[in-house]
A and B are shown apart, each in its own frame.
Chain A
């Protein structure tokens, strides 16, 4: 099952929705990994005929099933970073009324949301649905480096190497949660890492 019920949290933590079909002449869908299933769940021939679908497999294999939906345009990118240039190009051409669907991990949705906002589309034109990994995109508050796909707490910052604990405090601008040194008051005393939601 790719759906996960996030526990209730603080006010800065994003709340993700459930995709539904919206009317409109143009649709952009970005599906990362199991997010493909959310697209398959709502796809209709009429909707897909007006949809530019971007799929980032991240180890999954939904390519054939997605192409079988006959989207107006289909692109498979090996990573979000690789797909980003295309995403920006598509958004540059976007007209008011474009409907955007983001589905996959929190990190991808948060970053793609910022791209959509940067071109001035209203947030009401964007829908999200979390699917797949519950790993987080984390920013180290000390060195500012971002570590992708963090699924344990505490974790090691990929940039400065400090052991960081995973906060629920989230910045939409950075599309990241905050990581803070876990042993700041007792150097070397680092708890055994466990899953973020364990």
Chain B
């Protein structure tokens, strides 16, 4: 399949949009009508054809525009990409993983030609054709992690593993749900998750860490996480919160349908072969409420999840003030009918809205 790449923006005039194809494959994060934290890990070994789970690194219609947005963020704030000195080898591991995966999974878009350490990388959507020497930093315009993650959607946290612990020692973070790489770099797994309410007491992070420490090469894992964002703004960073925070107050009952977005992170976890580091890509998908409501099952379910979410979580996810307005809108799409289990849209089997 050839992807038509959108020409769109994630800031200022916000021309971001999802095609019908993108809506149907949106990773809706709720497998039932309620939500509570869980470790919810599964193997990342493909998925239904055309779904965001199918490939190791999903490429979609937003690819080219997302990479332009990343370049803007990095121009304004180079601290969004950092790598502690001992993480360069992991950067090469990551470069190899992404180049090999993309060239195998999308041969019409990416090519990798290897002759010993002499590599040639062709990235057709971004117009890159670059020959370089693998493991020789002087042959790349950036460090290996920065070079490849300027060409891959989603944020990337590269975690060193030592003393039975994971350490946030490198990353490319420009589409984050309000956490700062510059502040968190060097922290261990419990420290960088410290601000998350409730989950520590529930033992979520202890179990997650145990799972992650044991991820093996060739056996990646994945999970979904979510939050809410007003406007399709990728860069919801704490660094720029003093600028974008005010946008949350621009929501009205007239504009909520297209302004309010469900923000979903497809988080995957890969063991890297040489460094034994763990790479944690955090891929962000945005979908407006009005687009989500075209799937009757998601309309019913989203209303119930948002309505029943504990105050603490709605506060942490930053939409407690807007929740009443969201519920006013979403309730129109909940006719009280039961919903089928699982995250898939089930358009053929779920009844249309009867309201």
Residues of A in contact with B (beta carbons under 8 Å apart): 10-13, 139, 141-142, 144, 162, 167-169, 171-174, 178, 180-181, 184-187
Contacts and interface: CB of A to CB of B under 8 A. Distances in A.
A175 B61 CA distance: 42
Nearest to B180: A141
B248 A185 contact: yes
A144 B79 contact: yes
Contacts of A13: 194
B183 A174 contact: yes
B186 interface: yes
Interface string B166-191: 00000000000000101111110011
The secondary structure that dominates the A interface is loop
A95 to B, nearest CB: 24
Contacts of B190: 11-12
B354 to A, nearest CB: 38
Contact of B191 (A11, A142, A174): A11
B246 A11 contact: no
A167 B195 contact: yes
Given A12-B194, A169-B194, A180 B200 contact: no
B186 A173 contact: yes
Contacts of B31: none
Interface in B269-308: none
A180 B238 contact: yes
Contact of B245 (A171, A173, A185): A185
B21 interface: no
A185 B239 contact: no
A182 to B, nearest CB: 10
With most chain A CB atoms within 10 A of its CB, the pick from B183, B184, B192, B200 is: B183
A144 B242 contact: no
B241 interface: yes
Interface in B187-246: 187, 190-195, 200, 238-242, 245-246
